[in-house]
Amino acid sequence: MYAGLSKLQTHPLWQPAVYLLVGGWNTVFGMIVYAVFYHWLGTRVHYLVLVIPSNVLAITNSYICYKVFVFKTKGNILHEYFRCYLVYGGMMLLSAALLYVFVEGAGLSPVVANCLCVCVSIVVSFFAHRHFSFKR
Model confidence pLDDT, tens digit, residues 80-128: 999 999 999 999 899 999 999 999 999 999 999 998 999 999 999 999 9
pTM exceeds 0.85 for this model: no
CB of 98 closer than 8 Å to CB of 115: no
Model confidence pLDDT, tens digit, residues 36-83: 999 999 999 999 899 899 999 999 999 999 999 999 999 889 999 999
Count of the separate structural domains present in the chain: 2
Rounded distance, CA 35 to CA 117, Å?
23
52 & 99 share domain: no
31 & 16 share domain: yes
Concatenated DSSP letters for 63-128?
HHHIIIIII---S-HHHHHHHHHHHHHHHHHHHHHHHHIIIIIT---HHHHHHHHHHHHHHHHHHH
23 & 64 share domain: yes
60 & 85 share domain: no
65 & 80 share domain: no
68 & 86 share domain: no
The whole domain housing 63 covers: 1-72
CB of 19 closer than 8 Å to CB of 126: yes
59 & 83 share domain: no
CB of 11 closer than 8 Å to CB of 23: no
79 & 62 share domain: no
41 & 20 share domain: yes
